[in-house]
Amino acid sequence: MPLDQENFGYNPTVMDHFQNPRNSGDMENPSCIGLARNSDCGDLLKLYLRIEGDRIVDVKFKTYGCGAAIASSSKLTEMLIGRTLDDAAHIKNTDVAEALGGLPPHKIHCSVLAQQATAAALDDWSKRRA
């Protein structure tokens, strides 16, 4: 079987984040939480942010989903840590997929959870501060 079929069409970067996810787990007393769910497959991403000033200083996630969703979540955490809130709000799912070196076309939608969970977390942060 060709290697790319063995790896579900995922490239080595995606496989690495899928099998060794960065920043996975819980966070005690996060500044805010974002939850996103894919209504088609039911996969879930819960994102925890710690914010200091206008910057994200730590991120954790829990994903109940496919390999592409886990890899996207893991890469997202790396992209969020150190960013300003304004910068974070502009991260699109295609940015996450690109940072992973690409996802198979039928898996691009899995990275949407990353964008939606980020938006939900930033919305939660705005509400908590209001």
Which residue lies nearer to ligand FES by CB, 43 or 124? Answer: 43
Residue 43 contacts ligand FES per CB under 6 A? yes
Cα gap 96→94, rounded to integer Å: 5
Answer whether 77's CB lies under 8 Å from 61's CB. yes
> Among 122, 128, 129, which residue's Cα sits nearest to residue 35?
122
> Annotated catalytic, 32?
no
Among 59, 110, 120, 121, contact with ligand FES (rule: CB under 6 A): 110
Q: Greatest CA separation found in the chain?
A: 55
Q: Do the strands 55-64 and 44-52 form a parallel or antiparallel pair, or are they unpaired?
A: antiparallel
Residue 68 contacts ligand FES per CB under 6 A? yes
> Annotated catalytic, 110?
yes
Residue 17 contacts ligand FES per CB under 6 A? no
By annotation, the residues acting in catalysis are 41, 110
In the complex, the residues that contact ligand FES under the rule CB under 6 A are 38, 41, 43, 65-66, 68-69, 110, 113
